[in-house]
Amino acid sequence: MYDLMIEPEDEDTAWCREEVEGALQAIGLEVTEEGFIAANAEGTVWVDVGSQEGPDVLVIAVRTREDRRVETIRQAMDIAFYLAQRLSGVVIDMQLGGRVLPENRDWIEAEFLR
């Protein structure tokens, strides 16, 4: 798995969840009750917004299978940056342990495919 986390600026989890669901619906994705969404036809990219029955903490993860394809990591990054923009938040690379800036995308792709 390759995880990109989105850290929203706003701590209002109800607002963030509504905003994420609206953003995902705008690009043709639907949130299940478990909070997982297949984000591409191959099933190699998922968005996890957590269960609505869970604690009042919102962690948004964009997850990929390590299928070693450049397009998979690009799809995940596109979705992660789109959600971060909608939430005025930041994208955090869980493998590299730090914030990802849009201008560092090529470097992240290279690290993932190494």
The pLDDT tens digits for 73-97 are: 777 788 888 888 887 777 887 777 7
* Distance of alpha carbon 104 from alpha carbon 106, whole angstroms: 6
Residue 56 has pLDDT above 80, yes or no: no
Predicted TM-score (pTM) of the model is 0.70
Between residues 109 and 57, the one the model is more confident about: 109
Task: Map 47-114 to HEC letters.
Answer: EECCCCCCCCCCCEEEEECCCCCHHHHHHHHHHHHHHHHHCCCEEEECCCCEEECHHHHHHHHHHHHC
| Closest C-alpha among 64, 59, 51 to residue 91 | 59
Q: What is the CATH number of domain 2-113?
A: 3.30.1400.10
Give the residues across from 45 on adjacent strands: 64
pLDDT number for residue 58 = 57
Over residues 22-41, the pLDDT tens digits come to: 887 887 777 666 666 666 66
- Provide, rounded to the nearest whole percent, the portion of the chain with pLDDT above 70: 67
Domain coordinates of the chain in residue numbers? 2-113
Between residues 112 and 25, the one the model is more confident about: 25
pLDDT number for residue 22 = 83
- Provide, rounded to the nearest whole percent, the portion of the chain with pLDDT above 90: 0
